[in-house]
C-alpha cells in the first residue's frame, strides 16, 4: 500500500467517525428545536454561536488550521439552523417568480434545504411572510447597473412588522436565450424583466431588437420555450436556459461586466446582531431638517454608506428616507443615536440588522 492510499484510508476512517458524531449532534439539535418551540424562542441565537466559535477556536492546537476549523463549525451551525427550521415548520421561503428566476437562484444559495414558495408579485412575498405562511422572503433590493428596486423599498416601508435580516450579492450574467438551433438573424423580439432589459440596453440597441417586459426573467424564458416560435428570445441566466430547454445564443449581453444584484431577506423575527443596520425615517418639510439628521449620524461616529428618498404613499410631494449605517445596533452608541433621531425625525424605525 503506497503513502497516498494510506492517507486516504485514514481520511475514510475519520469520516466514518464524523458521520456517527454528526447523527449524534443532530439528535441533540432535535432536542434544542423542541425546547425553542415550547418556549417561543427564535432559531438563530447569535450569542450562543459566538460561544461555540470561541470554544472551537480554543480546541485547535495548530494555529494554521484554526480558521479552516472555524469555517467548518460555521457551516455545521448553519446546517443545524436549517434542520431546526424544517422541524419547526419554519423552512418555507417565499420569492417572486418561477423556478430559475434570479430570486430563486439567490434563495437556493442562501437556503439550499428550504421549501421555496413561488409568488406572482413582490407584494405577495411580503404578505406571506407577514401572515406567517413563509418564515422568510428573498427579494431584489438594488442592482449595481440599473439601481434601486424602488417597489421593494416601498414595501419595506409599508410593512413595519417585517425586518431585513440578511443581504446577499448575486453576480448577474444576462444571456440571450433562444430555441435550440435558432440563428441570431431569426430573432425578432425579446422578452425579459425590465431590469434585465435595462442591463442589456447596449446590445439590444445594436441589434435593433424590440423588447417586452415581463414579471421576471424565468417567466420570459418559460414563455419563449412554450411558444415554440424561433423569432422570440429571452434574456435570462444559464441556469434558466437549462431549466426550460433553451440555448444560450449570445452570452453576457449585459453592459456592466460587474453586474450584481443585491437581495434582501425579510422576516418577522428581529435580528439580534450584525455589522450594518438600516433606518427608515421622515422629517418635517423645513429647511435644514434632513441635514440635521445627517449631522447627528456623523457626529455619533457612524459611517452612512447609503441614503435614498422615496415618495410617501398617498401623501403628494412628501418623502421618506432610507439610510444604511455601518455599526452594531446593539452597542450603546447605536441606541443613543436612535434616541437622538427619535427627537429629530417626525418618524424613525430600524428596518434591518445584518452582516456584509
Give me the pLDDT at residue 199, please: 86
Quote the CA–CA distance of 296 and 317 in Å, as a whole number.
25
Give me the pLDDT at residue 184, please: 96
**What separation in angstroms does the CA of 43 have from each of 15, 82, 306?**
28, 9, 30
**Average pLDDT, integer, range 243-267:** 90
- Work out the pLDDT band at 89, boundaries 50, 70, 90: confident
Using the 8-state DSSP alphabet, how is residue 101 labeled?
Answer: S
Predicted structure pTM score:
0.81
**Average pLDDT, integer, range 62-82:** 93
Asked whether the predicted pLDDT for residue 12 surpasses 80, the reply is: yes
**What separation in angstroms does the CA of 286 have from each of 83, 104, 281, 292?**
52, 43, 15, 11
Give me the pLDDT at residue 330, please: 83
Domain boundaries, the chain: 3-87, 175-253, 270-356
Quote the CA–CA distance of 148 and 57 in Å, as a whole number.
40
**Average pLDDT, integer, range 126-138:** 96
- CATH, domain range 175-253: 3.40.190.10
Asked whether the predicted pLDDT for residue 257 surpasses 70, the reply is: no
Average pLDDT score over the chain: 93
**Average pLDDT, integer, range 114-135:** 95
- CATH, domain range 3-87: 1.20.59.10
Q: Could you give the percent of the chain with pLDDT greater than 90?
A: 77
CATH 3.30.70.260 for domain 270-356, yes or no, is yes
Domains 3-87 and 270-356 share a fold: no
Give me the pLDDT at residue 236, please: 95
Using the 8-state DSSP alphabet, how is residue 265 labeled?
Answer: E
Phi, psi of 43 (to 5 degrees): -65, -45
**Average pLDDT, integer, range 48-59:** 93
- Work out the pLDDT band at 254, boundaries 50, 70, 90: confident
Phi, psi of 112 (to 5 degrees): -65, -20
Asked whether the predicted pLDDT for residue 256 surpasses 70, the reply is: no
**Average pLDDT, integer, range 82-103:** 90
Q: Could you give the percent of the chain with pLDDT greater than 70?
A: 99
Amino acid at each position: 500500500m503506497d503513502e497516498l492510499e494510506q492517507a486516504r484510508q485514514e481520511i475514510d476512517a475519520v469520516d466514518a467517525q464524523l458521520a456517527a458524531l454528526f447523527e449524534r449532534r443532530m439528535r441533540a439539535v432535535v432536542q434544542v428545536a423542541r425546547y425553542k418551540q415550547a418556549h417561543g424562542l427564535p432559531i438563530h441565537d447569535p450569542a450562543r454561536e459566538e460561544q461555540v466559535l470561541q470554544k472551537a477556536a480554543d480546541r485547535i492546537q495548530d494555529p494554521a488550521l484554526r480558521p479552516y476549523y472555524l469555517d467548518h463549525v460555521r457551516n455545521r451551525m448553519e446546517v443545524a439552523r436549517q434542520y431546526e427550521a424544517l422541524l419547526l415548520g419554519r423552512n418555507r421561503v417565499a420569492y417572486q417568480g418561477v423556478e430559475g428566476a434570479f430570486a430563486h437562484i439567490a434563495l437556493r444559495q442562501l437556503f439550499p434545504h428550504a421549501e421555496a414558495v413561488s409568488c406572482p408579485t413582490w407584494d405577495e412575498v411580503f404578505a406571506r411572510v407577514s401572515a406567517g405562511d413563509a418564515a422568510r422572503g428573498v427579494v431584489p433590493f438594488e442592482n449595481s447597473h440599473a439601481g434601486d428596486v424602488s417597489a421593494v423599498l416601498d414595501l419595506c416601508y409599508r410593512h413595519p412588522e417585517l425586518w431585513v435580516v440578511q443581504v446577499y450579492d448575486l453576480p448577474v450574467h444576462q444571456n440571450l436565450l433562444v430555441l435550440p438551433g435558432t440563428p441570431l438573424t431569426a430573432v425578432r423580439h425579446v422578452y425579459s424583466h425590465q431590469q434585465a432589459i435595462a442591463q442589456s440596453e447596449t446590445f439590444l440597441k445594436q441589434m435593433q431588437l424590440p423588447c417586452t417586459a415581463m414579471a421576471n426573467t424565468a417567466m420570459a424564458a418559460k414563455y419563449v420555450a412554450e411558444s415554440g416560435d424561433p423569432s422570440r428570445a429571452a434574456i435570462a441566466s444559464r441556469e434558466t436556459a437549462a431549466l426550460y430547454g433553451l440555448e444560450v445564443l449570445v452570452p453576457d449581453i449585459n453592459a456592466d461586466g460587474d453586474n450584481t444584484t443585491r437581495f434582501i431577506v425579510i422576516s418577522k423575527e428581529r435580528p439580534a446582531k450584525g455589522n450594518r443596520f438600516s433606518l427608515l425615517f421622515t422629517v418635517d418639510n423645513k429647511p435644514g431638517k434632513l441635514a440635521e439628521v445627517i449631522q447627528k449620524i456623523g457626529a455619533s461616529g457612524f459611517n452612512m454608506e447609503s441614503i435614498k428618498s422615496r415618495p410617501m404613499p398617498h401623501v403628494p410631494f412628501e418623502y421618506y428616507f432610507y439610510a444604511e449605517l455601518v455599526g452594531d445596533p446593539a452597542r450603546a452608541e447605536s441606541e443613543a443615536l436612535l434616541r437622538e433621531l427619535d427627537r429629530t425625525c417626525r418618524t424613525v424605525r430600524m428596518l434591518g440588522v445584518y452582516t456584509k
